Amino acid sequence: MCAYEPYEPLNVPKPFGENVWIVDGPEIRMDFGPFKVPFPTRMTVVRLAGGGLWLHSPIAPDEGLFAALQDLGEVRYLVAPNSIHYWYMADWIERYPHAETLAVPDLDEKAKRPFRIDRKLEMDARFDWQDEIDWLLVPGTVFSEAVFFVKSARLLVLVDLIENFEPLRVRNRLQRWAIQLFHANGSLPYDARLTFRPKMDMVRQQIGRMLDWPVEAVTMTHGKPYTENASAELRRAFKWAMPK
């Protein structure tokens, strides 16, 4: 049995705003020291004005998902948005070899499963989709994360900077206890916050820019998205990073 009650249906694009879909995927097990820790997965899909698809944090693929995406448009961009969420990029590149691949700057060295990186999400970089999707990079020491704002949907797309697990969906009692003990739920876990301290001046600057976006909804990889009071939820979630 999975540790989490899944956000069904899985591997199916679900509308989440104008020309935006989220795809909840299967649970994965990530290395945490000597242990394998379960996490739910989620991908975000944006259809750009030209009809091409922009895929954020691709999940484990299957033929049904490929077929569903084909009905939405042509996959043009594959995005590895932080230093942890990249594992399935190689699978998607194999299926869509002509898609442009984008990744945070350190993945060319850190990735345990290498994949082709066409362009890095560096702070001074600009992309041809940027009139529709604004973005910025929050730099860290253990992981950095590229944050995206889909303008038409007023949607903020995150990966790990907010984890919003719902306790009732956590089936494993030990996992539920660990989340309650070590996570500031609806925010970045306490231990992860410490890894950003050496770059806190830049982190504050970038998060301040993010909070200025007119966000009305937020999706993240782990847990329940925000569809109400998104701006207030963000300011609460990132209080740890802002000046006292």
Domain ranges of the chain: 14-239
Q: What is the mean pLDDT of the chain?
A: 90
Stated pTM of the model: 0.92
Task: Give the pLDDT of residue 37.
Answer: 58
95 vs 35, residue with greater confidence: 95
Residue 112 DSSP SS3? coil
Cβ burial, residue 39 (10 Å; 0-12/13-18/19+): buried
**What does the alpha-carbon distance between residue 47 and residue 147 come to, in Å, rounded to a whole number?**
17
What's the pLDDT tens digit per position in 195-226?
999 999 999 999 999 999 999 999 999 889 99
CB atoms within 10 A of CB 196: 24
Q: What is the mean pLDDT of residues 25-54?
A: 80
- Across 145-164, average pLDDT: 96
Average pLDDT over residues 89-104: 98
Going by pLDDT thresholds of 50, 70 and 90, the confidence category of residue 166 is: confident
CATH topology of domain 14-239: Metallo-beta-lactamase; Chain A (3.60.15)
Question: What percentage of the chain has pLDDT greater than the value 70?
Answer: 86
Residue of 169 and 56 predicted with greater confidence? 56
pLDDT at 39: 75
Q: Compute CA distances 196 → 145, 199, 202, whole Å.
A: 11, 6, 9
Structure tokens at 120: 């890095």
pLDDT at 226: 96
Tell me the pLDDT band of 77, cut-offs 50, 70 and 90: very high
| pLDDT for the residue numbered 174 | 65
